[in-house]
């Protein structure tokens, strides 16, 4: 498992986020196997907008960041594990 | 067998629907109403899938003991009810349907739901007229937005919906990454969100539930949404009466009207409200057999 995941090069925050994410949407895969650049929605990980809502609520609980407004940004923020992690790291309170 | 057979452009072409709209708006209801039988016969003759879907539904209703043995006259009556529904849509969406012909009962439950400050999900089905309901929603003090799947919209809906100013502005489109985030935002703002919850567009999220004696794939997405947002759900039907008026009936969906702080965990928690929803659909179909407007292989067992 770890040999595969090493190629994906997740940062520590991405690794943590991937674990929360797979749990939130009950994704049947090893969080370390998520390619940080892969689109979350549709073709990539195959998530739908209900999953995106689950992730937004998870991010709110885990990181204290509200993600329901700013409609135009959401598609960029939720594009991939990496873009979401980037958003969290720059918007984390404290 | 093809899955999700409704995910194809609707029947009807732009020329006939534009002609119908012109006749409806210029020659009045009585004249336009005369066109329903020719339209019905045309549809029945040309679209065998519509005939077969109607037959399949009427047979289910018969086996459930709610209707006598189907014959082709009943199929025609069923398609005729749909053409009446389409005709009424033109008047409803263009704002020419008399308000006094819309009667609403049970609306207290809507006020009750809104008092919880979590918005309110108005859940319907393709039974009767959702436009009649929408007409009432537009007159409420709270914004009313529809969650809709738009990708496969056909000429009929496109031209009829163009009659309503601001129709598209009030829609949250399904199938976008942020569809549910926009919905959450609207609910948090205390708005009404309308969903017709009987058609699945994502097979992965539908759960087979017994409907009129046989399991049919019922979308779980709307119930997930209710669970995740904590928004109360009110079931609403708008059924045409014999005299041409509409009776709009509101009833709370069990379990969702209780304020809950912790959302229940998983799939099992969805089953009970989904079954309640399907029971509600069954009762409507039994009382109004011809108001069912899902002319496709609803049970996905083949037509």
Question: What is the pLDDT of chain A when averaged over all its residues?
Answer: 86
Instruction: State the pLDDT confidence band at B4, using cuts at 50, 70 and 90.
Output: low
Q: What percent of chain B clears pLDDT 90, i.e. is strictly above it?
A: 62
What pLDDT is recorded for position B276?
95
Q: What is the pLDDT of residue B128?
A: 96
B181 and A67 within 8 Å at the Cβ level: the answer is: yes
In chain B, positions 187-226, which contact chain A (CB-CB < 8 Å)? 188, 202, 204-205, 221, 224-225
Q: What is the DSSP string of chain A?
A: -HHHHHTT---HHHHHHHHHHHHHTT-SS-GGG--TTSBSBTTTT-B-HHHHHHHHHHHHHHH----SS-HHHHHHHTSBHHHHHHHHHHH---
Average pLDDT, chain B: 88
Q: Which of residues B281 and B264 earns the better pLDDT score? A: B281
Question: What is the C-alpha to C-alpha distance for residues B145 and B150, in angstroms, rounded to an integer?
Answer: 14
**Predicted pLDDT of residue B7:** 54
Q: Scanning every residue of chain B, which has its alpha carbon at the shortest distance from the alpha carbon of A70?
A: B182
Chain A partners within 8 Å of B185 (Cβ): 68-69, 71
pLDDT at residue B65 is higher than 80 = yes
Looking at chain A from residue 7 to 46, which residues have their Cβ under 8 Å from any Cβ of chain B?
26, 40-42
Given a cut of 90, whether residue B162 has pLDDT beyond it is no
What is the C-alpha end-to-end distance of chain B, expressed in Å? 8
pLDDT single digits (tens) B139-161: 677 888 999 887 777 788 888 88
Cβ pair A49:B178 closer than 8 A: yes
The distance from CA B193 to its chain's CA centroid, rounded to whole angstroms, is 13
Please tell me the least confidently modeled range out of A68-72, A73-77, B154-158, B263-267: B263-267
The percentage of residues in chain B with a pLDDT greater than 70, rounded to a whole number, is 90
- The conformation of residue B163, written as its DSSP 8-state character, comes to T
Q: Where are the domains of chain B?
A: 14-291
Would the CB atoms of B178 and A74 count as touching at under 8 Å? yes
Judged by a CB distance cut-off of 8 A, whether residue A49 touches chain B is yes
Does the pLDDT value for residue B191 go beyond 70?
Answer: yes
Q: What is the CATH number of the domain that holds A24?
A: 1.10.1200.10
> Distance between CA B54 and CA A43 in Å, rounded?
35
When pLDDT is cut at 50, 70 and 90, the band that residue B261 belongs to is very low
Whether ipTM exceeds 0.90? no
Nearest CA in chain A to B224: A50
Contact status, residue B43 vs residue B78, Cβ threshold 8 Å: no
Tally of domains in chain A: 1
Q: Report residue B235 as tokens.
A: 């079931």
Pick the more confident residue, A72 or B225.
Answer: B225
Is a pLDDT exceeding 70 seen at residue B36? yes
Model confidence pLDDT, tens digit, residues B86-110: 999 999 999 899 989 999 999 899 8
- Residue A3 has a pLDDT of 46
Q: Residue A74: give the domain boundaries.
A: 2-91
């Amino acid at each position: 498992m770890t040999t595969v995941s090493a190629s994906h090069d997740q940062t520590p925050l991405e690794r943590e986020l991937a674990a929360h994410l797979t749990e939130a949407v009950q994704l049947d895969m090893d969080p370390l196997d998520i390619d940080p650049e892969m689109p979350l929605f549709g073709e990539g990980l195959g998530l739908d907008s209900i999953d995106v809502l689950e992730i937004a609520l998870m991010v709110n609980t885990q990181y204290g960041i509200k993600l329901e407004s700013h409609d135009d940004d959401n598609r960029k923020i939720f594009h991939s594990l990496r873009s979401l992690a980037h958003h969290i790291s720059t918007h984390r309170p404290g | 067998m093809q899955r999700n057979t409704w995910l194809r452009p609707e029947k009807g072409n732009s020329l006939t629907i534009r002609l119908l709209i012109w006749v409806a708006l210029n020659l009045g209801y009585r004249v336009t109403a005369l066109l329903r039988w020719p339209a019905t016969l045309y549809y029945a003759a040309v679209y065998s899938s519509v005939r077969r879907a109607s037959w399949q539904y009427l047979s289910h209703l018969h086996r459930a003991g709610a209707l006598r043995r189907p014959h082709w006259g009943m199929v025609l009556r069923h398609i005729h009810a749909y053409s009446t529904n389409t005709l009424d849509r033109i008047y409803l969406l263009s704002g020419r349907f008399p308000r006094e012909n819309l009667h609403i009962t049970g609306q207290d439950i809507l006020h009750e739901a809104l008092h919880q400050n979590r918005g309110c999900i108005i859940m319907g089905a393709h039974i009767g007229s959702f436009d009649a309901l929408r007409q009432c929603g537009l007159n409420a003090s709270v914004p009313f937005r529809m969650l809709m799947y738009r990708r496969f919209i056909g000429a009929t809906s496109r031209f009829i919906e163009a009659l309503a100013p601001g129709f598209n502005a009030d829609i949250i489109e399904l199938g976008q990454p942020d569809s549910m985030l926009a919905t959450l935002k609207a609910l948090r703002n205390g708005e009404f969100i309308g969903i017709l919850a009987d058609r699945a567009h994502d097979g992965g999220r539908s759960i087979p539930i017994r409907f009129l004696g046989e399991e049919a794939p019922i979308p779980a997405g709307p119930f997930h949404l209710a669970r995740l947002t904590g928004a109360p759900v009110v079931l609403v039907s708008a059924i045409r009466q014999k005299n041409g008026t509409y009776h709009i009936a509101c009833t709370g969906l069990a379990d969702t009207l209780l304020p809950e702080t912790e959302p229940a965990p998983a799939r099992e928690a969805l089953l009970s409200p989904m079954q309640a929803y399907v029971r509600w659909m069954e009762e409507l179909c039994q009382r109004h057999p011809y108001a069912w407007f899902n002319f496709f292989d609803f049970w996905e067992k083949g037509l």
